[in-house]
Each structure stands twice: as C-alpha cells, then as structure tokens.
Amino acid sequence: PPPPPPPPPFFFSTPTPQTAILSGLVGSEMCIRDSCKTLENKLAVLTEAIEANFGTSAEFDVPAGGIFLWVTLPDNVDTMKLASIALSEGIAINPGPEWSTDAVSARSKLRICFGHPDVSTIREGINKLAKICQREFSVPKRISNEKVQ
C-alpha cells in the first residue's frame, strides 16, 4: 500500500491512537475498533459527568467522532478565566475563544479533550471543574442534586 499522508503542518492534537493511525504504525482493524470503543466509552462517561455535575447549565451535541466535546455554558461564564483558574487547580480545558474564529461568540464555550484521560480522571475532573465554575460564576446552582457550599 502507498505510504500514509504526512500529518497536517499544525497538528495540535496528538493522542497516541490517532497519531499511530495517521502515521501508519497501526494497521490492524481490531486495534482501530478497540480504540474507537474506548473513545466512545470515554465520551459517554464525559457526557454523563457533565450532565450530573452541570445539569441544564451546560449544553453540548455529542460528536459522531473525534476526541473533543464542545460545551456551551451560560453567557456569564468567561471560559478564558475559567481555564486559567482550573489550570491552577490541576484541570486543563480549552477555552472556546482560543479555538474559534469568533472569540466573542465563543466566550462561554469550552472544548474538552477526552482522548487522553482515563474515565476516573474524567469523572473527577468534571466534578472539580463544576465546583470551580460554581465558585467563580455561580454556575451551576447545584451539583449532583446537592447544594454547593
């Protein structure tokens, strides 16, 4: 078979399964299927964690593929500020303005990568992110059916 095409010049996302597939190091359909199942499971855990911790304060559309989930929070949430505070507390998120051509409309949007972290880290990270967001922006009002102190 012909060699795989080179990765794009600005290849910002390099999780192991995607990088291996792009570079042609993984040729097995079984390996690709396993990677897809793993990513589907991680996405399901992520969306469940967001629903449990943010409730109706967070909106998203489940993507058909990929390793990122775009989340829209209420307009009063500045995701640039949220990302900075969250990072200082050990959680890395991608604020929408850094990944959009329209930074103003993306102000309350964030992009979460679920390709690398394990499911336990996803659950814990979203719970902690919701608490940070509640503390800083009063969103959400409640987490997991309990008032946030």
pTM of the model: 0.77
Q: Which tens digit of pLDDT belongs to each residue from 51-86?
A: 999 999 999 999 999 999 999 999 999 999 999 999
Q: How far apart are CA 103 and CA 106, in angstroms?
A: 5
Whether omega for the bond prior to residue 5 falls within 30 degrees of 0, making it cis, is no
Burial class (CB in 10 A: 0-12, 13-18, 19+), 119: middle
Residues in the chain: 149
Q: Which tens digit of pLDDT belongs to each residue from 2-22?
A: 776 554 433 334 455 555 555
Q: Which tens digit of pLDDT belongs to each residue from 99-115?
A: 999 999 999 999 999 99
Residue written as tokens 């307009």? 75
* Contact in structure between 32 and 40 (CB atoms under 8 Å): no
Q: Where are the alpha helices (H) located in the chain, listed in sequence order?
A: 16-23, 29-54, 79-88, 119-137
Phi/psi region, residue 138 (left: phi>0; alpha: psi -120 to 50; beta: rest), is left
